[in-house]
Amino acid sequence: MSNKDEEKLELLREINESLKVVRKLTEIQLRGPIKDELAEFASSKERRKMWMLCDGALSTIEISKQVGVSPRAVQYFVQDGLKAGFVRVDRRGYPSRTIDWIPPEWEKIPGERPKEESKT
């Protein structure tokens, strides 16, 4: 790699670090309004679970099985999320959050059994 390429790479790293700081500050500043909008969008226990599972790794069918709802219910959730700007679908049938944030109180949903840790 040439010296000029190394300088460009270093500059890109610096820009990336600056963007991370700006993103974090913006998230902190907007946490209240985002939480309010998200609470309205994910208004039930099932919808909160769908939100948590929308990470781009699971299909709508896999999400429906984990949440215990019909695939159509997940499709409605994704459609609502697309309209609200909370969800995107980069790969057909695999929704992901546009805002990668889960309110801390959603981590434990009342009445839900704790997940077993994998023994790998």
Tell me, yes or no, whether 112 lies in a domain. Answer: no
The residue to which tokens 């057909």 are assigned:
92
CB within 8 A of 47, min separation 6: which ones? Answer: 41, 77
Residue 68 is part of which domain span? 3-106
**DSSP E strands, the chain:** 87-91, 94-97
pTM over 0.75: no
End-to-end Cα separation, the chain, in angstroms: 40
Tell me, yes or no, whether 111 lies in a domain. Answer: no
Label residue 68 left, alpha or beta by phi (over 0 means left) and psi (-120 to 50 means alpha).
Answer: left
Q: What is the CATH number of the domain that holds 15?
A: 1.10.10
Tell me, yes or no, whether 99 lies in a domain. Answer: yes
Q: Give tens-digit pLDDT for 11-67.
A: 999 999 999 899 888 777 777 788 888 888 999 999 999 999 999 999 999 999 999
Q: Which pLDDT band, with edges at 50, 70 and 90, does 108 fall under?
A: low
Task: Indicate the number of domains in the chain.
Answer: 1
Tell me, yes or no, whether 113 lies in a domain. Answer: no
Enter the tokens of residue 53.
Answer: 């599972």
Which residues are registered as beta bridge partners of 94? 91
